[in-house]
Amino acid sequence: MTNAPPRRSIAALILGIVFGLIGLVLTGGGAWLLISGGSPYYLVTGIALIVAGVLLARGRKAGGWLYIVIFAVTLLWAYWEVGLDPWALVPRVVAPLVLLIALQLVWPTLDRSAGRWRRAWVGVAVTFAVAIGFFWSIAGNFIPPVLQGLPDARYAMADPSIGTTGADWPAYGGTNSARRYSPLAQITPANVGNLKRAWLIHTGDLPASAQIRNTYGAENTPLKIGDTLYVCTPKSMVIALDPATGKQKWRFDPKVSDEAIPYTAACRGVSYYAVPGAAADTPCAQRIILGTLDARIMALDARTGQQCRDFGSNGQVRITDGMGQVPPGYVSITSPPTIVRGVIVTGHQVLDGQDRWAPSGVIQAYGAVTGKMRWAWDMMHPERSGPPPAGQTYARGTPNMWTIASGDEQLGLVYLPMGNSAADYYSSLRRPEENRYATSLVAIDVMTGKPRWNFQAVRKDVWDYDFGAQATLIDFPTTRGPVPAMLLPSKQGDIYVLDRRTGRPLTPIGDIKAPQIGVEPEQRAATQRISLYHTLRKPDLTEKDMWGMSPIDQMICRIQFRRASYKGFFTPPEADRRSIEYPGYNGGTDWGGIAVDPARGVIVANYNDMPNYVRLVPRKEANKKGWAPRDQARGEIGGAEGAGDPQAHTPYAIDVNAGWRLPFTGLLCKQPPYGGIRAIDIATGKTIWDRPFGTARTNGPFGIPSMLPLTIGTPNNGGSVVTAGGLIFVAAATDNLIRAIDLKTGKTLWQDVLPAGGQATPMTYSQNGKQYLVIMAGGHHFMQTPVGDELIAYALN
């Protein structure tokens, strides 16, 4: 009896061609990866797939059996590389599983036996059920444990600020100590499930065009003082609301033009000042201090919204006076000024990446009543205490403070988280004073404007690791008793504990060897500073950490990893190839800062865990691309920071792939999670619990929302609030949710879908005996969340 000839099957032919094409891609890419020092899996699998495809196309079952062997080997290899980590298994297993199901459906076309289709469908159903059950079970069991309980000790931390939280929320961080803590306890883990929307208002500040939409990111945290809530909008409008109903009391529009918008149209908040001794009904006895996108500081009557005409020049001061040439959008105030001892201290954002000699980062101070300049700190001219002489300007290109300062009313100090010099990624032109103060926390005497001390976290920064978060003021427990201290979080993920009187570290600090490579090896420090108290930073990346939607894009990410310059933490940028910066400039803690429960002694930190894929672009090449400073530019503003910034007057422009995304799928090359939230014991620096933060519901390949409620850990911007009720309230993630999280366990107890992105820090207050939670749902262009203008208040039903 002769063997029956192979049965001709169009379906098998098509699947065989698919196998062959995938095999060709894996073979070519796998060979490239292997030559680059990477895994041999892709080359071997690609060759085997080609053979399986040819056999299937010829109608031979051997092709199917070979693929089953390939799939089994893939499972073993995936387990060997990443174990049972569900998100790491996705690109290694899901696409091969889909091909296995397709093979099961094609198999009956190669068979003549009775019942072949029934067996095929049963096989598909069993395979699908087993796969779903497997991923569901390991995803459910992949919840990190609570490592330790909340601290037993109870603290009684004094707050050196004037205002207090509870009924009110008088400053951006709650108070100038920036703890983001409220003693309110009406909302608890037991009843938070009853939290409902109490009111919602629209601010009316929405982008007027698609181009401007690419710059919007509200980032606002309102203030609540007495019977009024104060919110500011992306273009610096201020709205006063009834805190119980959301009804508008007054609105002030400073008339900021679109051309003044910098990288982001944002107003993180306003500041509040009560004039000592003034009668309550006196005009401007209580003031809202507003910093605008077009670089003005304005004083408004907190009761009426009218400008305080006795402040500065007809109610305002321009901080650009003395800066020389300032093109529109180059200098903006996006963070609330800090007021200590009646002195308004302001920094400002200088548009990143444009010009080595961009406008100055000078810090300026004004009287809260008169608006007269009290001092100006220009680090290149320490002999001065005021504006520059006629015909001169503040030193250009110096580090700026774009974020929020904290302040100690008792010590008379303002704590400035400083950024980098202009042209973040090239350091040879920096002056000694810049190298001293860049990427530092600088304590300024509010009465004199002179630095009292500074603490530098990065030496000669070429990673855009500027301090983005407020320092949080606490009393730190020591064997000698509590010490006035600060918690200083960083983009690198390190959290430092410093004596806020002197800047002396209260917890151990180490030095690690740093790569002295790149285009300026002589400029790179041999060692860099790290905190030995606590870090949010994860271990260095390896090839196994690469991710994707399928084995193909994961392989591409592996190739990119192998071909890039990467020597671990603090790898500097290069010009002839890409380098990997991990964490990236949005890593660790950014402007959202941390929250502290001062009674329980717990830090709450939501953080990012993403790399950047970076290259310095030689000037000639940048010129060919048309990359020019904003005031000379042709083209749209917006987009990711650093993606084609010219860095004029240096030899190199910079091209940053923020998050290290693949251009065709939009997925990140590093495997999840991309963000987390963690509780930390203040006294010991030990982790209490750590959770991935953010679900995959709005994320997916090609920008298509997956709507999966699975916790993946997304990028996040914005901070959290912790309450005496034992809850953490936070939005920040890209899934457009606001959550209540149990402080003890990290478990999400309640959530609500926001109408736009929640890239802002919430706040809480009480009015008429009821506790409210408020969040600005304004969205954010960089986080790619929907833009909106909704301010939402929640209360118990």
Per-residue pLDDT tens over the stretch 263-287: 999 999 999 999 999 998 899 999 9
Strand partners, 225: 228
pLDDT band at 240 (very low <50, low <70, confident <90, very high): very high
Q: How far apart are CA 325 and CA 358, in angstroms?
A: 9
Residues in the chain: 797
| 292-297 mean pLDDT | 98
In DSSP terms, which residues pair with 197 in a beta bridge?
A: 794
Q: Which are the contacts of 145, defined by CB distance < 8 A and separation ≥ 6?
A: 689
Of the ranges 150-154, 526-530, 766-770, which one carries the lowest mean pLDDT score?
150-154
> pLDDT (tens digit, 9 = 90+) per residue, 465-484?
999 999 999 999 999 999 99
Residues 647, 355: contact at Cβ < 8 Å?
yes
Using CA atoms, how far apart are residues 762 and 227, in angstroms rounded to an integer?
A: 18
Residue 519: which residues within 8 A CB-CB, separation 6 or more? 426, 572, 573, 574, 575, 616, 651, 652
| pLDDT the model gives residue 20 | 96
Q: What is the mean pLDDT of residues 387-404?
A: 97
For residue 206 the two structure tokens come to: 């929405």
* Beta-ladder partners of 535: 494
Residue in the block written with tokens 């939402």: 792
Q: Which of 418, 417, 422 is nearest to 438 (CA)?
A: 418
Write the DSSP symbol of residue 353: T
pLDDT band at 633 (very low <50, low <70, confident <90, very high): low
What share of the chain has pLDDT > 70, as a percent?
97
Is 173 or 152 the better-scoring residue by pLDDT?
Answer: 173
Strand order in the sheet with 483-489: 472-476, 483-489, 494-499, 534-535
pLDDT of 361 above 90: yes
Q: Which long-range contacts (CB under 8 A, 24 or more apart) does 484-488 make?
A: 484/160, 484/408, 484/411, 486/406, 486/415, 486/441, 487/594, 487/596, 487/603, 487/682, 488/417, 488/441, 488/455, 488/457
For 282, residues 6+ apart whose C-beta sits below 8 A from its C-beta are 275
pLDDT > 80? residue 635: no
Q: Taking the CB of residue 352, how many other CB atoms lie within 10 A of it?
A: 23
- Lookup: tokens for 679: 């509780």
What mean pLDDT comes out for the span 281-294?
A: 97
- In sequence order, the 6+-apart residues with CB closer than 8 A to the CB of 497 are 476, 485, 486, 487, 488, 505, 506, 507, 533, 685
125: confidence class by pLDDT, cuts 50, 70, 90: confident
pLDDT exceeds cutoff 80 at 123: no
Helices vs. strands in the chain: H and E counts, helices first: 10, 41
User: With 70 as the cut, is the pLDDT of residue 638 above it?
Assistant: no
pLDDT higher at 120 or 678: 678
Judged by average pLDDT, the poorest of 150-154, 236-240, 529-533 is 150-154
CA–CA separation, 718 vs 737, rounded Å? 12
Exposure pattern of 308-321 as b/e (b: 16+ CB <10 Å)?
beebbeebbbbbbb
| Buried-state track 379-395, b at ≥16 Cβ within 10 A, e below 16 | bbbeebbebbeeeebbb
User: Would you call 464 a catalytic residue per the annotation?
Assistant: yes
- pLDDT > 50? residue 778: yes
pLDDT greater than 70 at residue 95: yes
Q: What number is the average pLDDT over the span 384-393?
A: 94
pLDDT score for 144: 84
- Hey, which bits of 40-84 come out as E strands? none
- Give residue for tokens 């402040």: 311
**Mean pLDDT of all residues in 50-72:** 94
* Token reading at 302: 């907190």
Residue 51: is its pLDDT beyond 70?
A: yes
Nearest CA to 782 out of 548, 586, 581, 616 is that of 586
Residue 722 has pLDDT above 90, yes or no: yes
Rounded CA-CA distance 482/603 in Å is 17
What is the DSSP annotation of 58-71?
TT-HHHHHHHHHHH
- Distance, CA of 601 to chain centre: 25
Q: Are 774 and 791 in contact (CB under 8 A)?
A: yes
3-state secondary structure 476-494: ECCCCCCEEEEEEECCCCE
Structure tokens at 224: 């609540």
Give the up-direction half-sphere exposure of residue 689: CA atoms within 13 A in the CB hemisphere: 17
Return the minimum-mean-pLDDT range out of 54-58, 124-128, 248-252, 793-797.
124-128
Confidence of residue 643 (pLDDT cuts 50, 70, 90): confident
In 166-181, which positions are buried (b, 16+ CB within 10 angstroms) versus exposed (e)?
Answer: ebbbbbbbbbbbbbbb
Q: What is the pLDDT of residue 352?
A: 92
Position 119 scores a pLDDT of 74
Please, which pLDDT band fits residue 1 given cuts at 50, 70 and 90? very low
Lowest mean pLDDT among 154-163, 256-265, 567-576: 154-163
Distance CA(740)–CA(188), nearest Å, equals: 10
Looking at the DSSP bridge assignments, the partners of residue 414 are 407, 444
> Over the chain, what is the mean pLDDT?
94
What pLDDT, on a 0 to 100 scale, did the predictor assign at position 141? 54
Mean pLDDT of 137-149: 73
In this model, does residue 758 exceed pLDDT 90? yes
Nearest 5°: phi and psi at 73?
Answer: -65, -40
Residue 508 is encoded by which pair of tokens?
Answer: 């151990």
Nearest-10 crossing angle of helices 41-57, 61-82? 160
CA distances from 75 to 90, 91, 153, 408, 442 (A): 11, 12, 48, 58, 53
Pairing mode of beta strands 181-182, 720-723: parallel
Candidates 464, 475, 494, 590; catalytic one:
464
Residue 7: pLDDT above 70?
A: no
Predicted pLDDT at 137: 59
Question: Which among 214, 254, 247, 248 is positioned nearest to 233, based on CA atoms?
Answer: 254
